[in-house]
Amino acid sequence: MLTDPTRRRQYDSVDEAADVEPPSKKDTKAGNFYKLWGKVFDSEARFSKVQPVPRLGNDKSTKEEVEHFYNFWYNFDSWRTFEYQNEDVPDDNEHRDQRRQVEKKNANACRKKKVEDNKRLRQVVDDALALDERIKRFRQEESAQKNKKRNEREAEAKRAAEEAEKRKLEEARLAAQKEEAEKAEKADSKKAKEAAKTAVKKNKRLVRGAAKDANYFAGAGAASATQIDAVLNGVDLVMATIDADELAALTSKLSVGKDPETIRGVFDEEVKRLVSAGKLKEGEARPLTK
């Protein structure tokens, strides 16, 4: 029987003397996990159709090696059979019905034993996995790595939020600063305009006052109402024609004194300048000229 490969394999499938019982949880906790469980898997490895079978390894095994080991055993392809434990089948023709019945019974029994053995082996792998400290360590390392990445993401999100808040505050500060500057600019512009208006009003009074100081060019006698109106109308026409800067320049020229001839000379020059520039028509401001 032992020289027949098929019958030898059937015998080896149920050689209980070659089986190694899985260690108890207590024995494993004593620190002999790799030694005790290595024997169990080495014993089961003889049934594998795929060779070589990965070894259990040790505490220096990498995560990839450990995962490959358990993946192999969870997908274990066994050649183990249980025909050796079958009931003897009658080989004479007189018991053909009984033979078929026994063969059917044996086939069902073999299938059942195969299922039970697969279930047993699966439990063995589950128990080893549950006790394997490397798995626990890998999970802790993976958890630590995930926590690290999560903490990094949270830190990055916090930094981004702080940067966004900082930018928001800076934008608000710049906006407020710009608004204040615009307000100040508007206030300064308003003040400048008001000052310019005031200066224009003052200069107009001075120009009119200069005409009055010159007795409205009436000479030594008192100026008539007609003379006064004519001169003032001429003065207003000139002031309406020139801009603020020209008005200031005219005022400056008129401030040299109160001599009527000098004042009239200034007005005469201004009228001639405006006529030459095409801003006044010839004779339009006649009362101011000599």
Based on the fold, state whether residues 110 and 205 are members of the same structural domain. no
Say what the pLDDT of residue 18 is.
66
Is 169 a domain residue? no
Say what the pLDDT of residue 31 is.
76
Q: Which residue has the tokens 């600063």?
A: 177
Based on the fold, state whether residues 16 and 127 are members of the same structural domain. yes
Based on the fold, state whether residues 204 and 90 are members of the same structural domain. no
CATH number at residue 260: 1.10.8.840
Rounded Cα–Cα distance for residues 215 and 227 (Å):
10
Q: Which residue has the tokens 């409205």?
A: 216
Q: Is 150 exposed, middle or buried (0-12, 13-18, 19+ CB in 10 A)?
A: exposed
Burial track 89-128 (b if 16+ CB lie within 10 A, e otherwise):
eeeeeeeeeebeebeeebeeebeebeeebeeebeebbebb
Rounded Cα–Cα distance for residues 226 and 70 (Å):
125
Based on the fold, state whether residues 13 and 125 are members of the same structural domain. yes
Q: What is the DSSP letter of 49?
A: S
139 forms beta bridges with none
Say what the pLDDT of residue 17 is.
60
Q: CA dist 167 to 86, 136, 155, 179, Å?
A: 84, 45, 18, 18
Say what the pLDDT of residue 96 is.
74
Backbone angles phi, psi at 279, to 5 degrees: -90, -20
Q: Which residue has the tokens 């993401």?
A: 153
Based on the fold, state whether residues 126 and 11 are members of the same structural domain. yes
Say what the pLDDT of residue 274 is.
95
- Look at residues 67, 23, 12 and name the one whose alpha carbon lies nearest to residue 45: 12
48 forms beta bridges with 78
Is 151 a domain residue? no
Is 163 a domain residue? no
Q: Which of 90, 106, 131 is a domain's end point? A: 131
Say what the pLDDT of residue 63 is.
95
Rounded Cα–Cα distance for residues 160 and 32 (Å):
51
Query: Which are the contacts of 93, defined by CB distance < 8 A and separation ≥ 6?
Result: none
Q: What is the pLDDT along the chain (290 residues), one digit of tens a residue?
A: 668 777 777 777 776 666 889 998 888 876 789 999 999 999 999 999 999 999 999 999 999 999 999 999 999 999 988 877 766 666 665 567 777 787 788 888 888 989 999 999 999 999 999 999 999 999 999 999 999 999 999 999 999 999 999 999 999 999 999 999 999 999 999 999 999 999 999 999 999 999 999 999 988 889 899 999 999 999 999 999 999 999 999 999 998 888 999 999 999 999 999 999 999 999 888 998 88
Is 165 a domain residue? no
Rounded Cα–Cα distance for residues 266 and 289 (Å):
9
Is 168 a domain residue? no
Say what the pLDDT of residue 110 is.
85
Based on the fold, state whether residues 126 and 212 are members of the same structural domain. no
Based on the fold, state whether residues 124 and 207 are members of the same structural domain. no
Rounded Cα–Cα distance for residues 138 and 140 (Å):
5
Q: Which of 116, 131, 146 is a domain's end point? A: 131
Say what the pLDDT of residue 257 is.
83
- In the chain, how many domains are there? 2
CA 165 vs. chain centroid, Å, equals 13
Say what the pLDDT of residue 10 is.
74
Is 154 a domain residue? no
Is 278 a domain residue? yes
Based on the fold, state whether residues 22 and 122 are members of the same structural domain. yes
Say what the pLDDT of residue 146 is.
93
> Helix axis angle, 133-213 relative to 63-74, nearest 10°?
130
Rounded Cα–Cα distance for residues 78 and 207 (Å):
123
Based on the fold, state whether residues 211 and 104 are members of the same structural domain. no
Backbone angles phi, psi at 48, to 5 degrees: -75, 135
Q: Which of 97, 131, 165 is a domain's end point? A: 131
Say what the pLDDT of residue 94 is.
59
Q: Which residue type does 151 have?
A: N
Six-digit token string for 146: 């995930």
Residue-range definition of the domain harbouring residue 42: 5-131
Q: What is the DSSP letter of 2?
A: T
Burial track 172-210 (b if 16+ CB lie within 10 A, e otherwise):
eeeeeeeeeeeeeeeeeeeeeeeeeeeebeebbebbeeb
